[in-house]
Each structure stands twice: as structure tokens, then as C-alpha cells.
Structure 1
Amino acid sequence: MIKVVLIEDDPMVQEVNREFINQVNGFEVVGAAGNGAEGLRLVRTLKPELVIIDIYMPQVDGLQAIQQIRTEGLRADVIAITAASDADTIRKVIQHGAFDYIMKPFKFERIKQALEKYRSFRNCFNDSGTMSQKELDSILFQKEEHAEAELPKGLNAVTLKKVIGYLSGHAESVSAEEVAEGIGIARVTARRYLDYLEKRGKVKLDIQYGGIGRPINRYIYQS
């Protein structure tokens, strides 16, 4: 079992996160704290493999706690689950070695995906010996051929990444026409990718009713 320490100041959110984590095979929450200072004490005592931490917290915030974990050389990986969405905070958390960054609100599938990816990551380093560049690349990057194999016929991973990149760069909802113009594809093609992402729960449909004419379907990315 991968031992997890959960650091979250909202009791209700803490309990939901605990239930989510314990539902994923191979993970167990062994301790929970309501602030960074208490969380650091648990990490030192329980020596978990993984720390799942909020950023906005009293006493010692999440970023300070992550910095302290690194300063003390504690061998715990970190996944941030937080409402913090500003680029500066995200950059600092990633710079301090966070394995993943999940923004609130989020669905169970998102944390499950993060934990399963982390489990695969740990398993790759359980074996002793050296590692080839190809083996390392398979850990650090999602393979294009694997991504394409999962896509419906007629869609490709490169264009999908462009669509996701365009969507994630906009805080407001966008139309299929705007996506098409933004990345240089046909509107009907953009609509196919947007429909696919909606079915996967990656985008939310925002139907807007204006003046005379048909309502406009707009889409907003769900990180």
C-alpha cells in the first residue's frame, strides 16, 4: 500500500478527499491534518510515500509546507489539490517538485487518474539498475501512439492537444468557431473534438441564448 498524508483545512473537503483516495486500489490515507504545521509533523512521523496538500491554509500554507518537505529532505512526493489557479502559485508548486496539480472543484476520475499515474511512476523506480532513455521517456511523457490508439477514428492526438491547449488558455467559454480560428482547423473538425472532450467530461457545454437565431454552443475546459 502507498501511504498517504492528507493536508486540508476544510473538514468536509478533507473527508471527501479521504474517501476518494481510499477508493483507489493500492492507496491508504494514514493521517490527516488541518494545516501545514500539523501536516509537517505527520509527514515527519508517519513517513508517507505521498502527501496530498491544499495551498490556502492557516499557520503554514501549502507552498511553505512543500518547501519545508524539500528543505528537510523528506522522501515524500506531493500532489496539490487546491482552488489556487493563479499562474504564479502553480509555477512555484511545480518548481518545488509537485507530481500533479489538481484544481478544485474536481471529479473523482481526476484524482483517480493522478493516483494511478503516480502508482505507475513509483513502480518504474522500484527495480534497481539503470534505465534507458526510452524507458525514462515512457515515464515522463504520455506516448503519442498510445494516445492515438484511444481516440475515435478520424481524431488524432496532435490536434487534440492543440484544442486542449487553446481551451485551457481561456478562462471564459469559447465557441467551436473560435477554436477553429485559433488553431487553424475547420469549424466542423473543431466541433468533433469538442464533442469528444465533452463526452469525456473534459469540457462543459455552455449554451448561450442571444437574439434572433439558434442558441450558440460554447465550451469551457474542465481542468
Structure 2
Amino acid sequence: MVQEVNRQFVEQVDGFQVVGIAGNGAEGLRLIRELAPDLVFLDVFMPALDGRAALRELRSAAMPVDVIVVTAAKDPETIREMLRGGAMDYIIKPFKLERIRQTLERYRDRHESLLSAEKAVSQDDLDRMLLGGETWAQGQKPGYGEQETGPAEQASFAGLDEQQSSLPKGLNAATLRQIVEAMHRLEGGVSAEEAAEGIGIARVTARRYLDFLEKSGYVKLEINYGGVGRPINRYVLQQKPK
């Protein structure tokens, strides 16, 4: 019953589908080999083969699968072992469903960003993937040759700061700010693809942020029908929100 409830919840998050459910570690390893999923939810307390042994076998066999541990085990030794074994997240039961949603959305954004990358990933790009939109340099004072944020950008950011508490689920305030910064740099409006390339995220992720900004009145959507092929949506930053 718990497995079925969890399956229904996971599939409520865009981009995810449960392809298999196992009752123990040995069955889980068999299903992973057969179904080749991208991501596995792994418990520690399981019959036949527990989560520790299952994770060790996954890694020794070099199976290309990511692991999120969801378990009642909360002793430091177990947590360290699972994280050292390559678990990308560790969620302790009982958990809030929103916690699962957040980790799935972070995983989806990182997965999409890596799939869409067409060249070597920079440190800033990787920081955004791993830190949920933030980079090491964020918040640092501009160095030699860099420019301070201008009055127009400051005004836009002040308005955005008021919107951060009402961001839709799955949107990150730091990434939203970087989208606006990129739009200031790329004058004349941007497409979702250009915004994604500007800060190193997936196009579908950039589209979600741009759609939010358009609905909030911070950008204006312009549809370009010129040329052959599908029309291009361009987002133009407004001086003041409507």
C-alpha cells in the first residue's frame, strides 16, 4: 500500500514515471538490470538484500543509475556509508511529500541540463546544477574589470525580491535572478534557448522561469513569425511590472 501511494506521488511530478517496484534488494537489482532506470529510490531496511549491500553491488557493477535513499535509518554511520556509496540524496522517514517533490525537481533540472549540454561544462554551470541555481561567485563583489549592477537592474531585482515568497513550486529564486541578469545582458529580448545558454541550464527549465516572469508582468512575450519553420517566442524585459 505504501509503495502504491509513493508511486502515485512520484508520477505527479512532471517528467517522472515509475517503471518498476521491488519488495527486496535482490529483486530490486534484478529490475534495475532489466529496466535500466535513470533513478532509484532505495530503502536501507529490506529483506533478502538490504540497502547497504544493494548499493555496494550497484556501484561495483558500475550500473549507470542514480540513487536517492528513502529510509527510517538515521544513524550517522549508515548515512555516511550511503552517501559515500554515491547516493545523491538521503531522506528520512517519515517525510513530507513536498521534500520528495523538491529533490525530484532538482534531479530533473540537473538531468536535463547535462543532457542538453553540447560542450564542456564550466564551473559556474556545474554549480548551478548542483546548488540549485546558485554559483560560488554569487553574492561576491565585482572584481577588476567587472561592472556593478546598474540602476535599472537594481530596480528589477527589488521588484523580484518581493515576488520570491510566491514563486511556484520548482522555481528557485537564485536562478530567477540569473535569468533577469541574462536578459539585461542580452538586450532586445531572448528566447528560452538563449536564456538557457546564457546561464547554463536546460531550455525547458529556462522556459518555466520565463513563463513565470511573463505572467507576473516582468517580461512581455513577443512571437516572431519570420522565416521558415515554427514561430519563436521571445521574452522582452519590461522596465516596470504591470
Pairwise TM-score range, normalised by the shorter structure = 0.5 to 0.7
Runs of 4+ in 1 over 3 A off after TM superposition: 148-152
Structure 1 or 2: more strand by fraction: 1
Match of 1:121 in 2: 110
Q: Secondary structure at the match of 1:80?
A: strand
Alignment of 1:147-162 (within 5 A): 149=161, 150=164
Amino acid of the residue matched to residue 19 of structure 1?
Answer: Q
Q: CA deviation at 1:40?
A: 0.1
Counterparts of 1:96 and 1:132, CA distance in 2: 26
- Residue equivalent to 1:92: 81
Aligned residue among 57, 69, 72 for 1:68: 57
Residue of structure 2 in register with 1:55 after alignment: 44
Q: Distance in 2 between matches of 1:64 and 1:123?
A: 30
Structure ID, larger Rg: 2
One-letter amino acid of the counterpart of residue 37, structure 1: A
Shift of 1:113: 0.5
Alignment of 1:1-223 (within 5 A): 12-126=1-115, 127-142=117-132, 143=134, 149=161, 150=164
Tell me, what secondary structure is at the counterpart of 2:19? Answer: strand
User: Unpaired segments of 5 or more residues in structure 2?
Assistant: 140-156, 167-242
SS of 2:17's equivalent in the other structure is strand
Give, in whole Å, the separation in 2 of the partners of 1:19 and 1:53.
17
| SS of residue paired to 1:17 | helix
Give the Å deviation of 1:19.
Answer: 1.2
Identify unmatched segments of 5+ residues in structure 1. Answer: 1-11, 153-223
Across the aligned residues of Structure 1 and Structure 2, the Cα RMSD in angstroms comes to 2.2
Distance 1:90 1:128 in 2: 35
Amino acid at match of 1:40: L
Percent identity for Structure 1 against Structure 2: 49
Looking at structure 2, the residues matched to 114 and 16 of structure 1 have their Cα atoms a distance apart, in angstroms, of: 17
CA distance in 1, matches of 2:54, 2:110: 23
For 2:39, the aligned partner's letter is: L
Residue deviations 1:55-93 (CA, integer Å, cap 9, x gap): 101110011111111111111100011001111111111
**Partner SS for 2:20:** strand
- The number of residue pairs the alignment matches comes to 141
1:192 matched to which residue of 2?
Answer: none
User: What is residue 9 of structure 1 aligned with on the other side?
Assistant: none
Shift of residue 13 of structure 1?
2.0
Distance 1:107 1:19 in 2: 15
